[in-house]
Every structure is written in structure tokens, then in C-alpha cells.
């Protein structure tokens, strides 16, 4: 038990140090702009691949350039993949069930158009789950706030009479994506600015680069 607690502390400290740079939020904001562009538009579905690249290799390249020269590189201890997979599956199923129950209460659970209008709630809960996982791993309060904002804004935009009156089945999903993209870019940008100011590039790294 003591060994597991020690490993959890190491993992949390590593996550916290790594995610202080705000670049996860910045890349998430870029991905959400892509969601706003492509939602309900099959001709733009290929752009999701660009977003996934930004969240994967793109984020790694940004950290190689801006983060590691300032705080060094330390590999985060690996997660229990089976436990992580079960948690993700449970969250996805729970999100769909929550939306289905809400639609059932309005008597439109079998209406496919109602499911499209509920897309912001589903997306907000699912995306919020990702932020919640990151917040629990890093302990960063700003990430907890983004998780809450994602779920709350999605549910509000899907609620009848609250969402904007814009034509198109996925219009409210696009509004949610734009709102969250701007919020992620603002939060991440401020965090990155503070990170760069507080962590100048180390002389050892500079000499190695030369």
C-alpha cells in the first residue's frame, strides 16, 4: 500500500510539473476549433486527423521546444492501461446514459434530431471527462475549472430555450466548441506565459544545444 501511494505521489508530481506549461489546453483549444469547423460537415471530417495530430505528436514537439529546455525531461510513470480503459469506457457509457435519460424525460429519446440537438451536452460531458482525468492526475485547479465549464456549457446549450437560435442540427455543438476553444486558449495561453516567465531556459540545456 505504501509503495502504491508513493508511486501515485511521483506520478502526480510529474503530471503537475509537466502540465504547468498550459500547452495541453492550447492544443485542446485548437482541436475544438476543428470540431466547430467540421461538426455536421462530412467534407471537413478529415480535419479531425489534424486535430488528433495536434493532441499527440504536435503537443510533444511543442514541449520539446518550449517545456523540456526549461524544466528538463522526465518520463511520467505509466498508467494501469486496463484500469484506464475501464474508466474511459464507464465514463462514455455514463455520458450516453445521462443524455438518454434527459431526452426520455422530455419524451424525445427516439427522435434522432433531438439527439443532434443534445450533441453539446454529450460532447461537453465527454470532453470534460478528459479534463477531469487530467485534473485528478495533476491537481491543477484551472483544469478542474475547465472540466466543469465543458460539462456545464454543453448542457446549457443543449437545454431547450437556452441555446442560440441558429439553423442547423449541429449549430449548438459548434457554438459550444467555439466557446470552449476560446476558453482553453485563454487559460492555456496565460499559463504558458507564466510558465515561460518563471522558468527561463537552463544554461546547461543551452550549452548542450550549441
Q: What is residue 124's predicted lDDT score, i.e. its pLDDT?
A: 94
Q: What is residue 26's predicted lDDT score, i.e. its pLDDT?
A: 94
Q: What is residue 128's predicted lDDT score, i.e. its pLDDT?
A: 94
Q: What is residue 209's predicted lDDT score, i.e. its pLDDT?
A: 47
Angle at CA 73, nearest 5°, toward 69 and 79?
145
Q: What is residue 93's predicted lDDT score, i.e. its pLDDT?
A: 94
Give me the domain span that covers residue 204: 2-209
Q: What is the dihedral of CA 147, 151, 157, 161, to 10 degrees?
A: -130
Q: What is residue 152's predicted lDDT score, i.e. its pLDDT?
A: 94
**Cα 129 → chain centroid:** 8
Cβ neighbour number for residue 37 with a 10 Å cutoff: 16
Query: Are the CB atoms for 190 and 26 separated by under 8 Å?
Result: no
pLDDT tens per residue, range 125-166: 999 999 999 998 888 999 999 999 999 999 998 886 665 555
**Rounded Cα gap, residues 140 and 195, in angstroms:** 14
Among 28, 1, 5, smallest CA distance to 133 is for: 28
**pTM for the full predicted model:** 0.83
Number of domains present in the structure of the chain: 1
pLDDT by position in tens, the chain (length 210): 555 555 667 677 777 888 899 999 999 999 899 888 888 777 677 777 777 777 788 888 988 899 888 888 766 666 778 888 899 999 999 999 999 998 898 888 888 888 888 889 999 999 999 999 999 888 899 999 999 999 999 999 888 666 555 556 678 888 999 999 999 999 999 999 999 999 888 666 554 544
Amino acid at each position: 500500500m505504501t509503495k502504491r501511494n508513493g508511486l501515485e505521489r511521483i506520478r502526480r508530481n510529474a503530471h503537475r510539473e509537466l502540465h504547468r506549461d498550459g500547452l495541453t489546453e492550447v492544443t485542446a483549444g485548437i482541436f475544438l476549433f476543428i470540431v466547430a469547423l467540421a461538426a455536421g460537415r462530412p467534407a471537413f471530417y478529415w480535419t479531425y486527423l489534424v486535430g488528433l495530430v495536434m493532441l499527440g505528436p504536435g503537443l510533444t514537439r511543442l514541449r520539446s521546444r518550449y517545456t523540456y529546455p526549461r524544466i528538463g525531461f522526465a518520463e511520467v510513470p505509466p498508467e494501469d492501461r486496463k484500469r484506464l480503459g475501464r474508466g474511459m469506457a464507464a465514463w462514455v457509457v455514463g455520458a450516453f446514459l445521462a443524455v438518454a435519460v434527459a431526452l426520455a424525460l422530455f419524451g424525445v429519446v427516439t427522435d434522432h434530431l433531438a439527439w443532434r440537438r443534445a450533441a453539446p451536452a454529450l460532447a461537453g460531458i465527454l470532453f470534460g471527462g478528459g479534463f477531469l482525468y487530467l485534473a485528478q492526475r495533476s491537481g491543477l485547479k484551472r483544469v478542474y475549472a475547465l472540466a466543469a465549464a465543458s460539462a456545464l456549457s454543453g448542457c446549457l446549450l443543449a437545454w431547450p430555450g437556452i441555446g442560440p437560435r441558429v439553423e442547423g442540427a449541429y449549430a449548438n455543438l459548434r457554438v459550444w466548441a467555439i466557446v470552449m476553444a476560446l476558453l482553453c486558449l485563454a487559460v492555456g495561453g496565460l499559463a504558458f506565459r507564466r510558465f515561460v516567465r518563471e522558468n527561463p531556459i537552463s544554461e546547461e540545456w543551452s550549452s548542450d544545444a550549441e
